Chain A
Amino acid sequence: MATVWLGGCAGCHMSFLDLDEFLIELADAVDLVYSPVVDVKDYPENVDLCLIEGAVCNEDNLEILHKIRARTKVLVSFGDCAVTGNVPAMRNQLGIDNAENVLQRAYIENAQNNPAVPKADGIVPQLLENVRPVHEMVYVEYFLPGCPPPAARIKSLVAQLLAGAVPKQEGEQLKFG
Chain B
Amino acid sequence: MAAKTLTIDGKQISAEENETVLQAATEAGIKIPTLCHLEGVYDVGACRLCIVEIAGTPKLLPACTTKVAEGMEVKTDSERLRKYRRMILELLFAERNHVCAVCVSNGHCELQALAYSLGMEHVRYDYTFPKWSVDTTHRLFGMDHNRCVLCTRCVRVCWHIEGAGTKNVSGRGAKSKIITDLNQSWGTSDSCTECGKCVMACPTGALFQKGSTVGEMERDRDKLEFIVTAREKKQWIAD
Please tell me the number of chain B residues within 8 Å of chain A, measured between CB atoms: 26
Check if A135 is an interface residue, CB within 8 A of chain B: yes
Check if B198 is an interface residue, CB within 8 A of chain A: no
Please state if B100 and A93 are interface contacts (CB–CB under 8 Å): no
Check if B187 is an interface residue, CB within 8 A of chain A: no
**A92 with B129: in contact, given A77-B122, A84-B123, A170-B119 (CB under 8 Å)?**
yes
Check if A94 is an interface residue, CB within 8 A of chain B: yes
**Residues of chain A lying within 8 A (CB to CB) of residue B126:** 136
In the complex, the number of residue pairs spanning A and B with C-beta atoms less than 8 Å apart equals 72
A176: contacting residue among B100, B127, B129, B132, CB under 8 A: B100
Task: Give B34-69 as 1s and 0s: 1 = Cβ < 8 Å from A's Cβ atoms.
Answer: 000000000000000000000000000000000000
Please state if B122 and A85 are interface contacts (CB–CB under 8 Å): no
Closest to A172 in B: B116
Please state if A87 and B99 are interface contacts (CB–CB under 8 Å): yes
Check if B130 is an interface residue, CB within 8 A of chain A: yes
Closest CB of chain A to B98's CB: distance in Å? 8
Q: Is the interface of A mostly helix, strand, loop or mixed?
A: mixed
Please state if B119 and A87 are interface contacts (CB–CB under 8 Å): no
**Residues of chain B lying within 8 A (CB to CB) of residue A150:** none
B112: contacting residue among A84, A95, A176, CB under 8 A: A176
Please state if A80 and B100 are interface contacts (CB–CB under 8 Å): yes
Q: Which 8 A-B pairs have the closest CB atoms?
A: A177-B100, A92-B129, A147-B101, A176-B100, A177-B106, A143-B121, A143-B122, A177-B101
Could you list which residues of chain B lie within 8 angstroms of chain A, going by C-beta atoms?
93, 97, 99-103, 106-107, 112, 115-116, 119-123, 126-127, 129-132, 146, 214-215
